[in-house]
Structure 1
């Protein structure tokens, strides 16, 4: 019925969202290809938290077990490769990979995550995901009550410090240059604002010890929160014409459908709520809705997608 390069669904991205969707599609007897470049967004984080039944486990252990479970479904195929190009065809879509292979499918799911853009500060990358962290729900409990910094220089600082103050009352804001926001509210809450640029982060194996400023001053810290700017890890959705929202995420509806009929997206590439639980849930929804569209011959009359 199918040749070796033709599938019902191609999933690009084999981390939590992609694996969750692949399991749903495998259990739905759908011939599915998962193309995975094996660079998950959370590969810098030693332990995963706030994911029920998996709290405190290494992210790689969780994804390895998930892949082993998905591989039991014989309609799901895994390919270790990087998807580089995509095109709409008469019968669906074509995806080309870095190794020069071409695959076709009726439907696509992008579970490709995002690439964080970190500042060019020595020690920042080494601490990222360990003690330079982005999410208090993922990491806040482990650094509760400790000396904590927030690396931010825009109006989001007001929401940011209120959230972080749930876990600690020892907060210092580092703007890495002249502050671009009014400081009165933070001063009233006795939050120090350090505008001197940062020279480097002093750490031991990614465990933050001090923030060292360009003027030689140092601040002892246990954790530094940072919400990084990002770019989409995969450019194919934009190549195909999928809408990108104002925050830079792939625009999806409640069923994980993009603006382009037949194309779905799930996980970090679609939402600021970056967690294993969210990605897994979205992948499961996407897998079910992909199967639903295939059952109905590719037409979802409730949404106008074909």
Structure 2
């Protein structure tokens, strides 16, 4: 069987794209490994109509709605290889199956390269976050620690003063010139240049000199990279953003490989559930248009 579209990645962006396509009665295969990026968070915020709902519940409800459409096929598993050209793509899965499709859509998401601080990974999505619009309000204007990772952390610290009393923990990673220090202090940011030994308790930073700094929560700006190398193996070009590496796409979400598209966190920045859903819906529409007109109706 040849599918009109194979969507690799069945989280928010992938499902939003698939919805547009099955509603156009196109045959769609979604291949999903079940590793949502926000699986560590207990609640999702900032997504209209779903504010405060558990991420897993949003995903389950969306999948149930998709599976009501007869032209959808869902495969729980890992896509191991992707190859081919427009109208003749082939995706092989970990269980040995081979699937062909006219179009490919990468909605594989990204992986976060977290700071190597003991105790941080265990608190990721619970007391350590990256998006203030998703998690800032819940800290109730309390004391916020921004853990430095690079230049983007300065912007993050300045911005987070909208949500609480900010301490910028450079952790020996971020060098601050005089102008940057002045800009941070003008925003009311406290600068802490000691090294962090570990995170402890609910949201405490234990410093290398033994001091314990208590916070309502932390934010950090991890570097992101595509969660799989599938698109790279096909020759899809990537680009550097302030948040890390993503797949390069044009205005229609098509990658540098004709007929292969990308959406969600792997194909846009910044990142949130709302933005991923919108990006996925736009990608689904454009993939459908490309199946009608060779030039996508441009």
User: Shared fold by TM > 0.5?
Assistant: yes
- 1:177 is aligned to 172
Matches within 5 A, 1:227-306: 227-247=221-241, 248-296=245-293, 298-300=294-296, 302=298
- Cα 1:23–1:137 change in 2 (3 A) is same
Offset at 1:196? 2.3
Gaps of 5+ in 2: none
Q: How many angstroms apart in 2 are the aligned matches of 1:281 and 1:54?
A: 14
Offset at 1:159? 2.1
SS of residue paired to 2:126: coil
SS of residue paired to 1:245: strand
Matched, 1:139 2:135: yes
Q: Which moved more, 1:78-87 or 1:193-202?
A: 193-202
Matched, 1:18 2:14: yes
Q: How many angstroms apart in 1 are the aligned matches of 2:149 and 2:295?
A: 47
Q: How many angstroms apart in 2 are the aligned matches of 1:187 and 1:163?
A: 13
2:81–2:230 CA contact under 8 A, matched in 1: yes
Q: Which moved more, 1:260-269 or 1:116-125?
A: 116-125
Matches within 5 A, 1:182-201: 182=177, 184-185=181-182, 186-187=184-185, 191-201=189-199
Q: How many angstroms apart in 2 are the aligned matches of 1:287 and 1:301?
A: 14
Gaps of 5+ in 1: none
Q: How many angstroms apart in 1 are the aligned matches of 2:6 and 2:187?
A: 51
- 1:33 is aligned to 29
Q: How many angstroms apart in 2 are the aligned matches of 1:178 and 1:79?
A: 42
SS of residue paired to 1:120: coil
Give TM-score scaled by structure 2 length: 0.93
Offset at 1:253? 2.1
- 1:120 is aligned to 116
Query: For the aligned residues, what is the CA RMSD?
Result: 1.7
Matched, 1:95 2:94: no
Offset at 1:194? 2.2
Give TM-score scaled by structure 1 length: 0.90
1:80 to 76, 83, 93: 76
1:255–1:286 CA contact under 8 A, matched in 2: yes
